[in-house]
Amino acid sequence: MSDAYLFVDTRMQDGTVVKHMQPADRSGSAEFAFDPSVDTPVFAGAAPASGHWYAADDRIGARIDLDCPPLVMDGPLGWWHRALGIDVYDQDLGAGINVGLIDSGVGPQPCLSHVRDLGALINGKLVPDGRDIFVHGTMMAGLIAARPVEKGNYAGLAPGADVMSIRVYDKAMAGAQPTDVAEAITLMANVEKADLINLSLSDVAPSEVQQRVIRQARSVGTLCIAAAGDDPGPVQYPAQYAETVAVSALGCDVPGPSEGTLQATRPADTGKIGQQGWFLSTMTSYGPALTCAAPGAAVIATVPSSSGVPLYASVIGSSPATALVTGLLAAYLSRDAEYNGLPRDHRRADYAEKALRTLCRSVGLAADYEGQGLPALSD
């Protein structure tokens, strides 16, 4: 498969993990060279551009073969919808809730034509073009609020929500500047009146300016929902801050994805395996800062499409888990009259977080792995 990115994660001598990525050649292959005295390969994966399952393996050798079978497109609902208590597609679910997405941009994608493009914040400058420079932001937007345009398309959890996007990445796979993320939060909270902001991004280092604006956003009624991170270690930032909702990624033994996806995300530690097929994904951070957990493996999401055809790909990690929690909470709050009658101050954000916590049920994991548990609109 030539239309794919291949990558290898390596562990440096200081314990940090570095991702090495390159596009596949015409034969669907790529070569990576490493110096064992500097870093050790620990994980390899293949991310098809669309139409096929992601696959990965932690069994590293000189040659690694990964199988990426075709996706089964039988939307508008997937197993992740049902796991989160959504059994019937409702295009108005989430209506009236303003959701901000700070990521790599959005679209083009026919199922996301309703998403408002607020441009990009790069090095403190707001520019008008907020189109996705990779695929990540389009995936998160789709999990939150995709609106199917063809039979089989998967919907977001809150397709009726009002979603707006700001791109904070200048280059694919390059980190976002903490100050740009902070400025985007301020714009969405103070000017655009976002109820929820999805932050499917993470950093090992704290940022005083980020924490300050997240706290200020909360004071005007905006709740930030952040990814715990994808490395098996402590919850990263900004999810680590007490003012945010922190989300870890769960996997589940469900039919459909390649065994390569499940093999890569299923833990060897039995203490990370819960009930009814649920487990803590190997592609997540965790710890006492967690608020909840959500599906973060074998999930299918929208990707950019310049042809006008609605394309989808699979995605794993705490990023999709976070987007699903954002969509779920938007869906719930849209039908909560008390919430919608609250003024735009800290009470509105506090109510939203409390509501999320009440929706959570344990899947049999320790609190450091699942927080309050898996949220669902119904049991």
**Residues 136-155: tens digit of each pLDDT:** 999 999 999 999 999 999 99
For 205: left if phi > 0, alpha if psi spans -120 to 50, otherwise beta; the answer is beta
Cβ pair 205, 232 in contact under 8 A: no
Tell which residue, 360, 355, 378, has the closest CA to residue 370.
Answer: 360
What confidence score (pLDDT) does residue 265 get?
A: 85
Q: What span, in angstroms and rounded, lies between the C-alpha atoms of 146 and 160?
A: 9
Mean pLDDT, all residues of the chain: 92
Question: Higher model confidence: residue 29 or residue 289?
Answer: 289
What confidence score (pLDDT) does residue 174 get?
A: 67
Q: What span, in angstroms and rounded, lies between the C-alpha atoms of 150 and 310?
A: 8
Q: How many CB atoms lie within 10 A of CB 145?
A: 31
Confidence of residue 172 (pLDDT cuts 50, 70, 90): low
Burial grade of 188 (CB within 10 A; 0-12, 13-18, 19 or more): buried
The SS3 of residue 167 is strand
What confidence score (pLDDT) does residue 55 get?
A: 81
Confidence of residue 286 (pLDDT cuts 50, 70, 90): very high
Q: What span, in angstroms and rounded, lies between the C-alpha atoms of 351 and 216?
A: 16
Kind of pairing between the strands at 278-280 and 125-127 = unpaired
Give alpha helix (H) positions in the chain: 79-83, 136-145, 178-186, 208-219, 259-265, 318-333, 337-340, 346-359, 367-370
In degrees and rounded to multiples of 5, residue 127 shows phi and psi of -120, 155
What confidence score (pLDDT) does residue 241 get?
A: 98
Residue 298, amino acid: A
pTM: 0.94
User: What length is written for the chain?
Assistant: 379
**Residues 17-33: tens digit of each pLDDT:** 777 888 888 888 888 88
Question: Higher model confidence: residue 317 or residue 262?
Answer: 317
Cβ pair 106, 138 in contact under 8 A: yes
User: Averaged over 178-204, what is the pLDDT?
Assistant: 97
At a CB cut-off of 8 Å and minimum separation 6, what does 221 contact?
A: 189, 193, 195, 342, 343, 344, 345, 346, 347, 348, 349
